[in-house]
Amino acid sequence: MKMQKKLKYLLCLFSLFFFACSSEKQELEKREQILYTAMPKKEYHLIPNHYEKNDRALITQLWEGLTELKDGGVRFIEVTDIQHSQDFLTWTFHLRDDLTWSNGEKITAESYRKSWLDSLKNSPMIEEKYRMFVVKNAEKFSENKVSEKEVGIQVKDNVLEVTLNTPIPNFDEWVSNPIFYPLHPKNETLKEEDKIVNAAFKIASFQENKIILEKNEDYWDAVNTRLKKVDISLVEDGIMAYEMFPRYEIDIFGAPFYEIPFERLKQANTLPEKLVFPVMKYYYISIPNENKERFLEKSNVKLRELLYAVSDPEFMGRVILQNDSPSIFPHPHPSSEIITKSKEEFENLQQKENFVFSESPYVAKFDSNSLLEKKLLLSTLKEWISSFKFPIRVTSEKEAKTSFEIKNYLVGTNQKEDFYYYISKKYGKNLKTEEEFLKDLPVIPLLQENTSLLLHSDIQGLSVAPSGDIYLKYIVII
């Protein structure tokens, strides 16, 4: 009898021990630091000065620059100190001494100087190079008009000295963008899985249906990177990719990795896991400079004022994006009085210009890969056609000769004034204030994008920078 009691007691202890071990094992498995997400199945270009849509989401995990953008300023990354002159024309970046590439080679201020010069010469991303053209003689160097010694990028010891041709009070924010990342000279000839990187992760596997990133142990701040791996499923269909989230096959879903499909926006809005972040990404409609229609000439500011007056960015943010993305400038829903007045002024302008619509419609173009651009464009044109009886055809054909184009620009900083700089550079203006912008209206401003994300509750430390970048190195799985 005593033996039976003793045996039962031992069996009970063993069960408790087994249950405790099993629970501990499950808890450890739950906290395994592997993050799962999805990206579109496409060809990826992993070069910081030559990337396309979605590439940036990967690039910002594999490479980094002097700073990272955060709300209201920057975080020091590969620098220990940043100084600037009182007039904001001279900037001094003191680099860390423990920076290395993923192959163990040292990164120095000279690495940055050579990389920036290489980007000026060889990067095809003209809209990104605009950011670099604030550096003294940078634009002339890109056009082979001056030597590299005349460019305002100099090195002293491990300090990078940059001279600008115009005061930029937040230039430390500008250098957070990928165009300013350092480049390893061997990367152009290396396969994706062999790329030499300098951020928290490196590529472990690059396959047709999956990309695996693993922790870069040579990273200067590797001790504070908790994730061991990032498992990225490459999924061709957006709906299929979205459905992976409620099935707990992925931890994060949303831009910049994979935008929530329009067909699922309403459903996503009801989920408690939905988060909305403001991003400094601006949508606008341009009238191309090469347009030969006299009525649409860039000098016709009055026409642009009328087109802007009847536009409805408030509707776009509330109904199309369904996340209350704000208009770039205050622009309430146009009242019936405003629409009626605009119609009358348009008719007067037609008479003054002695203008009659041509038999063939005007052409408005959007990017074939962006359903959002198409919907925003159609929404705007609907107001124009209704108010002014414009004959307009919508297309995504690349070679189409266009009258209107919808565009977007990721400012990459915290300052709206940097959007004015970009528009001025692109359209030959000199706009520095909101008043100057609205007086000239070089483009028809629409809205600033809010980005929507789905995130499971066991993922902590996620933040979205004003540039839309997500730095996975700060994530912890609990």
CATH number of this structure's domain 65-180: 3.90.76.10
The amino acid present at 400, given as its one-letter code, is A
Q: Give 452's contacts (C-beta < 8 A, 6+ positions apart).
A: 254, 255, 260, 265, 268, 274, 275, 276, 321, 323
> Poorest-confidence range of 101-110, 113-122, 299-308?
299-308
Q: Between the CA atoms of 52, 57, 58 and 64, what dihedral angle is there, to the nearest 10 degrees?
A: 100
pLDDT, position 45: 87
8, 58, 205, 250 from 256: Cα distances, Å: 58, 9, 21, 15
Angstrom distance (rounded) from CA 324 to CA 269: 12
Query: Which whole-number Å values give the CA distances from 164 to 87, 91, 113, in the listed order?
Result: 10, 8, 14
At 30 the pLDDT is 57
Render pLDDT for 291-323 as a digit per residue (tens, 0 to 9).
Answer: 656 667 766 899 999 999 999 999 999 999 989
Boundaries of CATH 3.10.105.10 in the chain?
A: 279-451
Q: In which residue ranges of the chain is CATH 3.90.76.10 found?
A: 65-180
State which CATH number among 3.40.50.1000, 3.40.190.10, 3.30.70.260, 3.40.50.720 fits the domain covering 192-273+456-477.
3.40.190.10
Mean of pLDDT values over 342-362: 89
Q: Whose structure tokens read 């003793």?
A: 6
Of 37, 60, 457, give the one whose Cα is nearest residue 245. 37
pLDDT of residue 294: 63
CB-CB contact of 476 with 33 (8 Å): yes
Give the span between the Cα atoms of 82 and 101, in whole angstroms.
22
